[in-house]
């Protein structure tokens, strides 16, 4: 299951826009249209990764929700949505516990990038980035950067390892070639995305039972690849 994100926004269009974009990236999204609803979710949900809170709301506003959430959870990532510059002053000037803010209007790419970034930080804070990942016959030890299939070590290059780790951290999510390229080669690498295909072919030879009929790394035609989460 994806990491849980809370979105508090009273404007339905903006809320749906955010929900669609986060769900596409594999996140589990909980929606609240009022501060009161958001507080209820916060009380009932044991582990939120990130909360996206609109400031301007009738009733309990986003800043109050932010303070409440921060008191309950020191590690959760909090992004405030602001519409006006005066509000930015409130977020940055006063102590509310917010980590970041985004000014409307914003692009989905920007929003998802901020959420991804905060999730990574939450993992670091919780030490979760070092836990082993499991999927079907596979175990990925992130501490030793090693992949096991049925507890037998599979020899991967550093690059191949980075790709497999990215898949196992995002099981079931369609990842496009550029995302894989950025993650494994780094953002500064300006190479042809076809190099991803070459490496996927090599990985398949090492991990698939039959690499001409892959069942772990699936091709998403015209897009990229997806780790089969139902193995």
Question: Rounded to the nearest whole angstrom, what is the least distance from the CB of residue 209 to Ca ion in the complex?
Answer: 52
Query: Mask 165-204, x = binds Ca ion (CB under 5 A)?
Result: ----------------------------------------
Query: Which CB atom, from 12 or from 153, has the smaller least distance to Ca ion?
Result: 12
> What phi and psi values does residue 62 have, to the nearest 5 degrees?
-65, -30
How many residues interact with Ca ion (rule CB under 5 A)?
3
Residues 109 to 168: which contact Ca ion by CB under 5 A?
Answer: none
d(CA 170, CA 226): 9
Residues 202 to 231: which contact Ca ion by CB under 5 A?
Answer: none
Angle between helices 62-72 and 35-44 (to 10 degrees): 10
Using rule CB under 5 A, residue 10 touches Ca ion: yes
Contact between 64 and 78 (Cβ < 8 Å): no
Query: Which CB atom, from 10 or from 75, has the smaller least distance to Ca ion?
Result: 10
Question: Rounded to the nearest whole angstrom, what is the least distance from the CB of residue 54 to Ca ion in the complex?
Answer: 4
Query: Mask 17-56, x = binds Ca ion (CB under 5 A)?
Result: -------------------------------------x-x
Output b/e per residue, 190-208; b: 16+ Cβ within 10 A.
eeeeebbeebbebbbeebe
d(CA 19, CA 158): 34
Question: Rounded to the nearest whole angstrom, what is the least distance from the CB of residue 220 to Ca ion in the complex?
Answer: 36
Query: Which CB atom, from 10 or from 123, has the smaller least distance to Ca ion?
Result: 10
Residues 63 to 102: which contact Ca ion by CB under 5 A?
Answer: none
Contact between 81 and 52 (Cβ < 8 Å): yes
Nearest to 34 by CA among 6, 16, 64, 60: 60
Contact between 173 and 183 (Cβ < 8 Å): no
The set of residues, in sequence order, having a beta carbon less than 8 Å from that of 84 and lying 6+ positions away, is: none
**Among the candidate windows 7-15, 23-31, 167-175, 198-206, which touches Ca ion by CB under 5 A?**
7-15
Question: Rounded to the nearest whole angstrom, what is the least distance from the CB of residue 56 to Ca ion in the complex?
Answer: 4
Give the footprint of Ca ion on this chain (CB under 5 A): 10, 54, 56
């Amino acid at each position: 299951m994806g990491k849980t994100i809370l979105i508090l926004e009273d404007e339905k269009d903006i809320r749906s826009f955010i929900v669609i974009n986060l769900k596409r990236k594999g996140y589990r999204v909980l929606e609240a249209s009022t501060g009161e609803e958001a507080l209820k979710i916060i009380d009932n949900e044991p582990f939120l990764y990130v909360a996206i809170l609109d400031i301007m709301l009738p009733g309990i506003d986003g800043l109050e929700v932010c303070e409440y959430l921060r008191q309950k959870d020191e590690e959760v990532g909090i992004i405030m949505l602001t519409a006006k510059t005066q509000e930015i002053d409130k977020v940055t000037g006063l102590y509310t516990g917010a980590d970041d803010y985004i000014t409307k209007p914003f692009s989905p790419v920007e929003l998802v990038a901020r959420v991804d970034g905060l999730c990574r930080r939450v993992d670091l804070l919780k030490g979760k980035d070092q836990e082993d990942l499991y999927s079907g016959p596979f175990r990925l030890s992130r501490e030793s950067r090693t992949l096991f299939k049925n507890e037998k070590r599979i020899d991967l290059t550093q690059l191949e390892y980075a790709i497999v780790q990215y898949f196992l951290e995002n099981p079931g999510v369609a990842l496009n070639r550029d995302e894989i390229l950025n993650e494994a080669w780094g953002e500064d690498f300006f190479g042809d995305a076809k190099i991803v295909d070459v490496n996927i072919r090599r990985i398949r030879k090492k991990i698939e039972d039959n690499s001409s009929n892959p069942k772990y790394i699936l091709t998403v035609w015209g897009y990229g690849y997806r780790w089969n989460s139902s193995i």
